[in-house]
Amino acid sequence: MKNLLMRVFLFLSLTAVAFTQNQGFQKFDAKALFQPGMSTMQAARTACTKSVGPEYGACFVDQMKAAGASSEAVAFMHAIQNNGFMRDFTKAGKVDVAFAFFPFAANENEHCLLVNGTPNIIDVDDYSVIPRGDFPKNKEYEALRAKYPNITVFPGDRAGTKFIVAKNPPGGGQSFLVPYVLVDGCHACARVGKLELAFEFDGEGKFRGAKVTSVTSLSPPK
């Protein structure tokens, strides 16, 4: 079972950037937005093409600053390890949602981050916060796993801002519903199911964990 779960989350571990940590608190809002055009991005690629490792990220941020990024936008870029910028923002309460774009990521460019709580930044596709222990307890998931032994979890569509739903549970705090897809082994393989997780926070904005709210089977295309 352990090996299965490690395989299930291999994609997430390779694509999500692990910001989920107790870092110095920074409060983010719409002032951190930055929406560069294609010409700006091309100029950044050209200017930074010879940079490697951390130097590439630093060069990228310098290019964004030269293109007019605000100090708040730059602070956000630094907070996500200079990998990208905030493209959109949704105020949701004590914990808010920042939508980031990583222009040079090898796999997924769109990221959804829960910000301003504790920890200060949580990438919903960070495998370390996925409730792996819940999967074997879910009958729908187990039925799919029996049919598709190589079932793998991938992030859902992260474009736009409507895919994540913020809730205020009756007992207080906040909950964010986030979609994922279940595929038969690889990124290009058939989609066999849908998964929804709830990321839950208490009234003080402290992350209480994520839990499985639903698993739905899909009929793969013939």
Spell out the domain ranges in the chain.
2-217
Burial tier of 39 (Cβ tally within 10 Å: 0-12, 13-18, 19+) = exposed
pLDDT > 60? residue 13: no
- Convert the pLDDT of each residue in 107-140 to its tens digit: 789 999 999 999 999 999 998 999 988 999 999 9
Give the 3-state secondary structure of residue 49: coil
- Convert the pLDDT of each residue in 77-99 to its tens digit: 999 999 999 999 999 999 999 99
Percent of the chain with pLDDT over 90: 75
Q: Which band of pLDDT confidence, cut at 50, 70 and 90, is reported for residue 68?
A: very high
Alpha helix positions (H), 90-181: 139-147
Peptide bond into 149 cis (omega under 30): no
pTM of the entire predicted model: 0.88
Q: Give the mean pLDDT of the chain.
A: 88
- More confident position, 191 or 25: 191
CA–CA separation, 130 and 157 (whole Å): 17
Give the 3-state secondary structure of residue 11: helix
Q: What is the dihedral of CA 88, 92, 93, 96, to 10 degrees?
A: -40
